[in-house]
Amino acid sequence: MALFELEQEYGTEAPAEFVRPTFKDCVAADIDLAFFNADEHAELHTVDGKEMLIVWEEDLLRQHNAHWEAGAKQNFDTGLYTAHPILYVKVEDYGPKPKVDKLLVLDAGTKTQRTFSIKSCEEESGVYRMTLERTRQ
Report pLDDT digits (tens) over 94-131: 999 999 999 999 999 899 899 999 999 999 888 999 99
Strands 103-106 and 86-90: unpaired
Distance CA(45)–CA(124), nearest Å, equals 21
Identify the structural domains of the chain with CATH numbers, from first to last.
43-136 (2.40.10)
**What's the confidence (pLDDT) of residue 107?**
93
Q: What integer pLDDT is reported at residue 88 of this predicted model? A: 96
pLDDT at 64 over 60: no
Average pLDDT over residues 75-96: 80
* 15 or 96, which is more confident: 96
